[in-house]
Amino acid sequence: MTRTAKVSRKTSETDIEIELNIDGTGEYDIDTGVNFFNHMLESFSKHSFMDLKVKAIGDIEIDDHHTVEDVGILLGEAFREAIGDKKGIRRMGHAIVPMDDSVATVAIDISGRSYCNMDLDFKHDKIGDLSSDVVVHFFESFASSGKINIYGTCEGANDHHKAEALFKAFAKSLYDGCKIEHDEILSTKGVL
């Protein structure tokens, strides 16, 4: 079984291509035009062991909202396509990841239903060149199009460390939930 996807989306605000290999080695090639967001997606790829290619051209001269939102939407779509019928997956995963002064906790459920609950409190409007308010929006967009549940919290003093711990915890929890452990659909309904 090959768990890969290649998706693209072009709107009047963004033009994005994404390739995802769930069973990769953490190789990445990412260019979104938003440097700190690139860094977060690189951390996600490395710590999830998912190979990820992202090429995004967006209206970042206005702001980074559309680019981050649309990458979240498209990455969620790629994930949903790559994970397939979910037969045999562990389904749920969680991780606690520290980074210096910060610690993030993320739990996910690859349930076929969308829900996102993030308890984040960034101190500044920007983390590098990324608007801090779009971090939550990225996860909401991924959860919505990927049809998964994401729950996350993060505490700490440094916004960079908090965001990075959060993306790493998301990566590790998703890696955990994608593991194939048996040959059943892990649901009393028989579908996910």
Q: For residue range 64-96, what is the model confidence (pLDDT) as tens digits? A: 999 999 999 999 999 999 999 999 999 999 999
Per-residue confidence (pLDDT) for residue 39, from 0 to 100 = 98
Prediction pTM value: 0.97
What one-character DSSP code corresponds to residue 101?
T
Task: Classify burial at 55, counting beta carbons within 10 Å of its beta carbon; exposed 0-12, middle 13-18, buried 19 or more.
Answer: middle
Per-residue confidence (pLDDT) for residue 191, from 0 to 100 = 86
- Between 16-20, 38-42, 89-93, 187-191, the lowest mean confidence (pLDDT) is in 187-191
The residues spanned by each domain of the chain are: 4-178
Classified as helix, coil or strand, 1 is coil
Q: Which CATH class is domain 4-178?
A: alpha beta
What order do you get walking across the sheet with 4-10 strand by strand?
Answer: 4-10, 14-21, 51-58, 28-31
